[in-house]
Chains A and B, each alone.
Chain A
Amino acid sequence: MTARSALSAAATQPRPTGMMSRLLSSDMPRSRALSAILIVIVAGLAATPFLFSGSQPLSTAAKICVFIALVASYDLLLGYTGIVSFAHTMFFGIGGYGVAIALERLGPTWISVAIGLAVALVLSAVLAVAIGLLSLRVRAIFFSMITLAVASAAAVLASQMSTVTGGEDGLSFQLPPQLRPAFRLLLEPIFGVTINGRVLAYYLVFFAALAIFLALLRIVNSPFGRVLQAIRENEFRAEALGYRVVAYRTAASVISALAATVAGAMLALWLRYNGPDTTLSFSIMIDILLMVVIGGMGTLYGAVIGATLFVLAQSYLQVLMGAASSGLSGIPFLPDLVHPDRWLLWLGALFIISVYAFPGGIVGYLRKRQSA
């Protein structure tokens, strides 16, 4: 709570000017440590193809980019508007399936990508409006239940309609030629790195995520975004002030759904595959919730930090634990405790500790420390 008051108090200061402030919609990190962390993350993601060799680091970085966009779009709902929806992975999945089905059926061209993405965006918007108008009027808890039911129905539908979606196996497909590993943008390597289709695909994901993030940052700091925060604070009063709460909530749901759809399309393009486990499963929904809470609800920068930490932990915690486990061999009990198979246990422990230690998330903590 204190994090929020600090946020609102600081947000009424005279506006800083300059290009960076324009780009970040006047919503500066407001903490030196946070700024430093963000710069490291963004620079690291931008330079990943040049910093690390091999495909695993690049895949991890691409996943971080996708999840930054996805988690930021979820924060628009949860952190800024106060809507608890469990249907976010449905929109993520629609984006993935849209691109996957189009590329598989219509052939590996950019036109297929455009058609798949366009159809997915329209479908997501229609579903978001429908869910919003039908159920945002009811009490919050019932809304959450309805989204849960709709999301489960979508997951079942995707696995049943196997002729279209590939069922449980999902769909593998070919990418447009420019994104294939064999493609060479330049004949000569830059800084010893060959700019092939894989690197291009990575930068497509990177810039799409960056664009989504900056657009969302603008939206939450717009007059519209301010209304969303007012609705989160006191829905009744927002309505009495003349704001049509249902319309604003529905609009927020649609924007959030569209961003998640693009993120899903990016993930499918990167993986050259889409299936229930990569975009639709409920465990991804839980991951998103954890990333928002760890990073800090209601601060889009929290999405960057939450997604980065979580995906890194997911990818490297097992490796780290494997090393620790073999290092501790000979000692009773301890090697079992840090066995790589227990990684989820430790991730859970990390989560509980971080929620207790940083109730406002990492961003909330850093900002509080700065203002103290």
Chain B
Amino acid sequence: MEPALETRGLTIRFGGHVAVNDVSCGFAPGTLTAIVGPNGAGKTTYFNLISGQLRASAGQVLVGGQDITTLPASARTRQGLGRAFQLTNLFPQLSALENVRLAVQSRAEAGWSLFRVWNDRRDLIEKAEAVLERVRLADKRNVAPAALSHGDQRKLEVALLIAMEPKVFMFDEPTAGMSVDEVPTVLELINDIKQRGDATVLLVEHKMDVVRSLADRIVVLHNGVLVADGDPAAVIASPIVQEAYLGIEATR
């Protein structure tokens, strides 16, 4: 089957430093792949190359077989790549509902309507409300992210991603900095996305128990190189992972 997303020889150099080095990897539709690796392994950089925040020095990114390597981030989003950010990245002074409504509006390609009043599009507002309901933020609809707790901000970040209805969901450490009791909600949301259909999910995550319970497959990056790829149990057991990743994790 054709991968939903594929990278071929993807590379980026910052001066002499090769942050992502010749990474070729395909992601099949309907699968959840965890991307793991120690800090500085190039996971977020790899994400940035895929979603277009960085331009590759070499190699290609393909969505549904189509080369999107030269497209800007906004065009990649319209091609079905959805990205949630590691550091919460929202519209801090707009209400939670408006944050989500903007994502729904982008999906509906309604941004270039200049002479209608925004609330003429009840359908967009209702859809945004439904997404807020789904991430359990309905009661915070009028609160701006600047006034939300960290956990609620992360949920809103997931809400924006859901609202964009992407083909490929990219989560960058969705549970980072969350309190222990908030983590399950976000994991349920991701699991829910996985269960719902043929969405392809990429997940950068540090917590091994999370990875083990959610992932169909694990890809390991180390110093920008793809060093292991396969079934979660096998990858976690492999010597290279024990040394390169889990060894470092264990000593922290």
A223 contacts partner chain B, Cβ-Cβ < 8 Å: yes
User: What is the CB-to-nearest-CB distance from B126 to chain A, in angstroms, rounded to a whole number?
Assistant: 12
Q: Interface code A227-250, partner B: CB below 8 Å = 1, 0 otherwise? A: 101100110111111111100100
Chain B residues closer than 8 Å to A242, beta-carbon distance? 74-75, 77-78, 106-107, 164
A241 CB → nearest B CB, Å: 5
The reply to whether A12 and B111 contact each other, CB–CB distance below 8 Å, is no
B144 touches A26 (CB 8 A): no
Asked whether B93 lies within 8 Å of A222 as measured between CB atoms, the reply is no
A264: interface (CB < 8 Å):
no
Decide: A239 near B74, CB < 8 A? Known: A219-B115, A222-B114: yes
Docked complex Cα distance between A226 and B112 (Å): 10
Chain B residue contacts of A238, Cβ below 8 A: 91, 102
Chain B residues with CB below 8 A from A278, complex form: none
In Å, the complex CA distance between A238 and B160 comes to: 11
The chain A residue sitting closest to B88, CB to CB, is A237
Pairwise interchain contact A240-B89, C-beta atoms closer than 8 A: yes
- Closest-CB distance, B143 to chain A (whole angstroms): 8
A222-B113, A241-B160 as given contacts; A12 in contact with B98, CB under 8 Å: yes
For residue B73, CB closer than 8 A to chain A, the reply is yes
Interface presence of B146 (CB below 8 A):
yes
List of A residues within 8 angstroms of B92 by Cβ = 233-234
User: Does A207 sit within 8 A of B, measured CB to CB?
Assistant: no
Interface centre among A221, A223, A233 (most CB of B within 10 A): A223
Are B90 and A234 in contact, CB atoms less than 8 angstroms apart? yes
Bound form: Cα–Cα A243–B74 in Å: 6
CA distance A16 to B97 in the complex (A): 18
List which B82-134 residues lie within 8 A (CB) of chain A: 83, 85, 89-95, 97-98, 101-103, 105-107, 110-119, 121, 124
* 8 Å CB contact of B102 from A22, A25, A219, A230: A230
Query: Out of A12, A218, A225, A237, which one reaches B89, CB within 8 Å?
Result: A237
How many residues from A make CB contacts under 8 Å with B? 36
Q: Mark A48-76, 1 if CB is under 8 A from B, else 0.
A: 00000000000000000000000000000
Which residues in B have their C-beta under 8 angstroms from that of A226? 98, 101-102, 105, 118
Nearest chain B CB to A218 CB, angstrom units: 6
- Chain A interface, DSSP helix/strand/loop, else mixed: helix
Closest residue on chain B to residue A10 by CB atoms: B142
A219–B113 alpha-carbon span in the complex (Å): 9
**CB nearest to B94 among chain A residues:** A8
Q: Is A4 an interface residue (CB 8 A)?
A: yes
Contacting residue for B116 out of A223, A244, A248, CB 8 A: A223
In angstroms, Cα B96 to Cα A11, docked, is 12
Mask: chain B, 50-87; 1 = CB below 8 Å from A; 0 = not: 01010000000000000000001111011000010100
Instruction: For B142, list chain A residues within 8 Å (CB).
Output: 9, 12
| A12-B98, A12-B141, A233-B94 given; A223·B89 CB < 8 A | no
A222 touches B115 (CB 8 A): yes
B129 to chain A, nearest CB (A): 10
In the bound complex, what is the Cα–Cα distance between A39 and B114 (angstroms)? 27
A8-26: CB near B (< 8 Å → 1, else 0) gives 1101100100000010011
Could you say which of A4, A12, A25, A218 has the most chain B C-beta atoms within 10 Å of its C-beta? Answer: A12
- B210 sits at the interface (CB 8 A): no
Select one of B51, B83, B85, B117 contacting A221, CB under 8 A.
B117
Verify B93–A1 contact, CB threshold 8 A. yes
A371 within 8 A of B: no
How far apart are the CA atoms of A12 and B89 in the complex, in Å? 21
A142 in the interface, Cβ–Cβ < 8 Å?
A: no
CB-CB < 8 A to A219: which residues of B?
Answer: 114-115
The winner among B78, B112, B121 for most chain A CB atoms within 10 A is: B112
In addition to A12-B98, A223-B111, A223-B116, 17 A-B residue pairs with Cβ atoms within 8 Å of each other are A5-B146, A9-B142, A11-B98, A222-B116, A223-B105, A223-B110, A223-B121, A224-B112, A226-B98, A226-B101, A234-B90, A239-B72, A240-B89, A241-B74, A241-B77, A242-B164, A243-B74
